Structure 1
């Protein structure tokens, strides 16, 4: 069932693409590389971020594992690239009714509106809350340094 479900979701995303996301297909249906462009009006605008998506064997009964391959300065992304667990679709609230498209949409929203109340990097969350201009500056610098299209 897992591979049929993943193939169906991939086909759906090809016909109904998510803004800011493109999927690089490989030979392994259980592993995707996502190219995510930073949303406009965020410090990530103009950046191209690579994400690895790994589907467990018991998908959709277990959530996919998603990790930023590109470094990003964000309170809800661990320095190793793992996306925060409080993202409802990746935490204990996972439901087989959710799709990878919904998860990617939630990640884009998280880039637009970080959740500083439940961070994985408290120091970045504190900066986001109390010194937003410095947060924006640092996030833009990291985007230029690590997510520049010229680097890809």
Structure 2
């Protein structure tokens, strides 16, 4: 799974790649994992960042040191991705 380059989130690499154990062959990937489980895992990660697995320093630092500012930045970013109509 990949987001736009520069997507602001502690667990998304600057390249847009998601840092999630079930997507990593060496950590948690199993052939029995369903697409639904992957999508739910990504959704959970977006809602609840994992500070123990940072992939992006700016977002991680803001998330861990100034949660209010982090949430403000996330809200600002969400305006670039409106829901489909």
What TM-score comes out, normalization by structure 1 length? 0.49
Answer yes or no: is the 8 Å Cα contact 1:117–1:125 preserved in 2.
no
Higher strand share: 1
> Given the alignment, which residue of 54, 73, 81 partners 1:138?
73
The residue that corresponds to 2:82 in the other structure is 148
Would you identify which runs of 4 or more consecutive aligned residues in structure 1 move more than 6 Å?
none
* Match in the other structure for 2:53: 118
Root-mean-square deviation (CA), in Å?
Answer: 2.0
Whether contact under 8 Å (2:5, 2:15) holds in the other structure is no
Give unpaired runs (5+ residues) of structure 1.
Answer: 1-65
Higher relative contact order (CA 8 A, sep 6+): 2
Q: Does the Cα contact within 8 Å between 1:76 and 1:115 map onto a contact in 2?
A: yes
Report 1:3-152 matches (<5 A): 66-69=1-4, 72-84=7-19, 87-91=20-24, 92=26, 93-144=28-79, 146-149=80-83
* Aligned counterparts of 1:90 and 1:73: Cα–Cα separation in 2: 19
Quote how far apart the aligned CAs of 1:105 are: 0.5
The residue matched to 1:68 in structure 2 has which SS? coil
Q: Contact (CA 8 Å) 2:3, 2:18: kept in 1 or not?
A: yes
Larger Rg computed on CA atoms: 1
Unaligned runs of 5+ in 2: none
Q: Kindly indicate which of the two structures has a greater share of residues assigned to helix.
A: 2
